[in-house]
Amino acid sequence: MMPTKSQRRPSRGLLGGIRGGSGTVCLLLLWGLILFALRDARLLVETVSDALYLCVRQVIPVLFPIAAAGGLLTCFAPPPRFICRPIGRLFRLSDASVGVLVIALVSGFPIGAMLASRLLEEGRIGKEEASRLAAYTNNASAAFLTGCVGERFFGDRRLGWILWIATTAAALAVGIGMARTAPRPAHAREQGCALPTPAALADSLKATGQGMLYLTVFVVFFAVFSTFFNHSLVALLPDGGWTAPLAAVLTAVLEITGGLAAIADLSLSLPLRMGLAGAAVGFGGLSVFLQCMAAGRAAEGRRLLRARLRMALLSLFLATLLCFALGRH
């Protein structure tokens, strides 16, 4: 009996979707990360400890109550009709998705992807609407941008508000643009329930706890990877005026918190640093991208990547423009 096509083709493992030179680069980076961890254990311990401290003291205390409450809010009736109708028409969203959009804009990533996946699993929205919703509703929270980025990194909370306004406006613009070719939602208005049942409460807390665990794992891994990447970059690149900006941008592509700290320390003008910070927040970094992908079945890789790149470009422009408009230069 002739073997089938699936039997003749061997499994390619974890990196099966990466071919040629890209797969080789990934393998070299992973082996380099292992050697880095074995060679400098003290730096590894410090990096992991700092990342866990960041999660325990800043990330989880802000995101966990919002994610848990947001999950429970999806069990209630959607927002009033006079709110759902104009927003739903503008973004081509059902009533349940409008509630997720409102919650996600004031929370932080990956709350939008988590709640969109929950609606999809419950059959309350379709796959197209869920993937579109997850693509532009994963933004940095106002608390993170004003407290951590604005006050701690840039020394001015008002700069954090500029970043939040720029990235939120960019996300809404991308959402409206994606809605132009989207079909009308087919789901009718929901009645919701008076109070969430104990089972709904337990499911919401369980899903939120799993989401926080995933988030912590990604933050720790990319903190270690960013440290390894920066040390390797410093050793390979020659000294020059462009080395520090390049290292800061590449760090932001990997992990947003370390990238924003590096961008704030650059010897560039404030509008240029704010533009780079806006682009970093709009994109979110590879860590946030993978968090959204791991949050459930809502996010689709290509659609999410295209949306994040558009948000990065718009956020760069808007953050720079707001700096000049408000005299922050």
Contact 301, 293 (CB under 8 A): yes
pLDDT confidence band for 31 (50 / 70 / 90): confident
pTM equals: 0.80
Report pLDDT digits (tens) over 262-279: 899 998 999 999 999 999
pLDDT (0 to 100) of residue 280:
95
Q: What is the mean pLDDT of residues 119-142?
A: 89
Question: Does residue 293 carry a pLDDT above 50?
Answer: yes
Q: How far apart (Å, rounded) are the C-alpha atoms in residues 278 and 47?
A: 25
Contact 163, 311 (CB under 8 A): no
pLDDT confidence band for 135 (50 / 70 / 90): very high
Q: What is the mean pLDDT of residues 166-192?
A: 82
- Lowest-pLDDT range, 120-124, 185-189, 268-272, 288-292? 185-189
Q: What is the mean pLDDT of residues 172-185?
A: 90
pLDDT (0 to 100) of residue 176:
95
Q: What is the mean pLDDT of residues 170-194?
A: 78
The answer for 285, left when phi > 0, alpha when psi is -120 to 50, beta otherwise, is: left
pLDDT confidence band for 22 (50 / 70 / 90): low
Greater pLDDT, 7 or 262: 262
Instruction: Tell me the domain boundaries of the chain.
Output: 42-325
User: Could you tell me which residues come within 8 angstroms of residue 249 by beta carbon, excluding any fewer than 6 positions away?
Assistant: 259, 263, 276, 280
Report pLDDT digits (tens) over 204-246: 788 778 878 888 888 888 888 888 877 776 666 666 667 778 8
Question: Does residue 248 carry a pLDDT above 90?
Answer: no
Burial of 20 (0-12, 13-18, 19+ CB in 10 A): exposed
The answer for 98, left when phi > 0, alpha when psi is -120 to 50, beta otherwise, is: alpha
Most confident range (mean pLDDT) of 5-19, 159-173, 255-269 is 159-173
Greater pLDDT, 81 or 22: 81
Report pLDDT digits (tens) over 81-124: 777 889 989 999 988 888 889 888 877 778 888 889 888 888 88
Mean pLDDT of the chain: 81
pLDDT confidence band for 5 (50 / 70 / 90): very low
Question: Does residue 6 carry a pLDDT above 80?
Answer: no
Q: How far apart (Å, rounded) are the C-alpha atoms in residues 144 and 162?
A: 13
Percent pLDDT > 70 in the chain is: 83
Give me the count of residues in the chain.
Answer: 329
Q: What is the mean pLDDT of residues 193-197?
A: 59
Greater pLDDT, 133 or 1: 133
